[in-house]
Each structure stands twice: as C-alpha cells, then as structure tokens.
C-alpha cells in the first residue's frame, strides 16, 4: 500500500513537505500556482510532484478553468491525506457504534462535545472576554494544536474559521453527527450564528465556518440645547 511507505508528514523535509502542506490547504493547484505560492520555479515544483506522485501521495486531473485550454491540477490521494494528523484509533469507531446503538446520535454528539470542551480547557474565560475576530483567532490556534490546521480571517462584516485538516476525518465520515456537533461548538464559542461555507465531507478542501460581525452601535445624536 502507498500509505505504508510514509506513515506521517514528518518523513518529509524541505520543499516536498511544503508542497504537501500547500496542497492540503488549497488543493487542487496547478504546478504554476504551487510555484507562485512557494517562490519556486514551475519545473522545480514538477520534479517534487513527480516524486510524490510515484509514491502514491499526489494525483493530477485535467480541469477547465474558463479562458484558455485545460490545465493539470494536483491534489492529495487518500494516502497523501493520511500523512496529516488523524486523532482516532480503530477502537474509537467501535465504541461510538455501541454508543449510537444505545443512545442514538445524541450520545455520539455528547462525547465529542466533551472532547472540544477539553480542547478549550482553561481558555474559555479568556475567549469570552475577546471581541469576535480575536476570539476566532484564538480558537483557531487551539484547534491547530489538536491537528486541525485551522486559521481565521476577518473582513468588514464577517469573520471566518477555516480548518485545512480534519483530525478525525474517518470518524466524521461514519458519524456525520460529529460535524453538526462541531458546527454547534464553534458557534457557541464564537457567541454568534455561523454558516458552513465548505465541508470536507462534501468533497471540499477545507471546512469553513463564517460568522457575521455585530453591527456597530450607532452614535447617539446630540440633542440641541435649549436656549434661555
């Protein structure tokens, strides 16, 4: 099996590791797009892509992107995805099957809600005191520490948390209620309703959650002074 050749990302150093990380974050990408992001030549990127393809970690497909002819876009194979953190063991799936049989999906949800609360740890009070954009940034760092490769960004009216890796991907595929519980958890921590814009379980490269920033409080209009 190709995945047996390289059990983790730590087996790769330098530019090949950079290529794998960039694909995990933004796949699919062409060799030219990778070269631009990594400040390399396209030929240099192609050499690394060929090596990774030979190891069964990267694949390519022809894509039509509007104007111009088709391009070759690269993405990770299942073996490539397995290089990234997966916080699960086979026995976990068996245990969750038993819980779901006894308590239904709500039982599975409770298990993972407790797990995410553990990720927060003592940071809950700190998070509650932060404005939404900073709260999202701090939550993203906590999720990253647990293998989710999360980052946050804020625009004029929204703030977004993007997870570039699912640390429990195989579990989420078997127990979709876990994804719903994650969305509820993020909304609760941010203290705002969220919308899931992307979902790995639906074939997207990331899971992305967006919350609307609270509208600024209008300044009180000064009342005219009475003339005496």
Domains 2-81 and 90-212 share a fold: no
Q: Report how far apart, in Å, the C-alpha atoms of 80 and of each of 15, 20, 85, 105, 153 are.
A: 15, 8, 11, 30, 27
The count of other CB atoms within 10 Å of the CB of residue 17 is 15
Please, are residues 96 and 111 in contact by the beta-carbon 8 Å criterion?
yes
Domain edges within the chain: 2-81, 90-212
The domain made up of 2-81 has a fold known as Arc Repressor Mutant, subunit A (1.10.10)
Q: Residue 81's closest CA among 7, 31, 145? A: 7
Q: pTM score > 0.75 for this model?
A: no
Please, are residues 24 and 149 in contact by the beta-carbon 8 Å criterion?
yes
At 55, is the secondary structure helix, strand, or coil? coil
- Specify the CATH class of 90-212 in words: alpha beta
One digit per residue, the tens of pLDDT, for the chain of length 228 reads: 333 334 467 777 788 889 998 998 888 899 999 999 999 899 999 999 999 998 888 998 888 877 777 888 999 888 888 787 665 556 788 888 899 898 988 898 888 888 888 888 888 888 989 999 999 999 999 998 888 989 999 988 999 999 998 888 888 888 898 999 999 999 999 999 999 999 999 989 899 999 998 766 565 554 455 544
């Amino acid at each position: 099996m190709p995945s047996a050749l390289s059990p983790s990302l730590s087996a790769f150093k330098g530019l090949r590791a950079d290529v794998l990380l960039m694909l995990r974050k933004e796949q699919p990408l062409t060799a030219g797009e990778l070269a631009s992001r990594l400040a390399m030549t396209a030929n240099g990127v192609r050499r690394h892509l060929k090596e990774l393809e030979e190891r069964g970690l990267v694949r390519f497909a022809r894509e039509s992107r509007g104007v111009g002819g088709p391009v070759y876009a690269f993405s990770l194979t299942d073996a490539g995805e397995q290089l990234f953190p997966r916080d699960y063991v086979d026995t976990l799936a068996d245990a969750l099957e038993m819980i779901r049989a006894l308590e239904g999906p709500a039982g599975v949800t409770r298990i993972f809600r407790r797990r995410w609360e553990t990720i927060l740890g003592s940071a809950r009070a700190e998070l509650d005191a932060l404005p939404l954009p900073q709260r999202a940034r701090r939550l993203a760092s906590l999720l990253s520490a647990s293998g989710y490769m999360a980052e946050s960004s804020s625009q004029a009216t929204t703030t977004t948390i993007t997870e570039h890796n699912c640390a429990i991907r195989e579990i989420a595929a078997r127990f979709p209620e876990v994804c719903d519980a994650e969305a509820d958890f993020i909304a609760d921590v941010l203290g705002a309703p969220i919308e899931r814009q992307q979902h790995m379980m639906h074939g997207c490269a990331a899971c992305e959650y967006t919350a609307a920033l609270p509208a600024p409080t209008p300044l009180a209009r000064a009342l005219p002074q009475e003339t005496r």
